Amino acid sequence: MASEPCDVCERSVRIAGGIGDLWNFAFESTQGMTLELADGSEFFLCFDCMESLPEDVEPTAEDVADLRERTDPVEEDGHSFWHWG
Ligand SMILES: [Zn+2]
């Protein structure tokens, strides 16, 4: 089990092994994955941020940057809550 920071909210996200193993692992233990965009760029996103990306079109690096702008970095001090919208 490893963790990697989400490129949008900066939360550290638990991932199950390497990306190649992702689909073989219990999916619930994984909270994010690397997203390969149509333009060839790659971002590591938690599922929450991934759900915030547009669904009707292929997300682009611009959408990720835009989402990042709208998302406050999560402070992992155990007290902060995370608000959407
Ligand atoms: Zn995130």
Per-residue pLDDT of the chain (85 residues; tens, 9 = 90+): 678 999 999 999 887 655 555 555 555 577 888 989 888 999 999 999 999 998 888 889 999 999 999 998 776 665 545 555 4
Q: Which of 17, 5, 18, 8 is nearest to 72 (CA)?
A: 8
Ligand 1 centre to CA of 45 (Å) is: 5
Predicted local distance difference test score (pLDDT) of residue 9? 94
Provide the residues around ligand 1 (an ion) whose CB is within 5 A: 6, 8-9, 46, 49
Q: Which of 61, 64, 7 is nearest to 39 (CA)?
A: 61
Predicted local distance difference test score (pLDDT) of residue 74? 72
Ligand 1 centre to CA of 50 (Å) is: 7
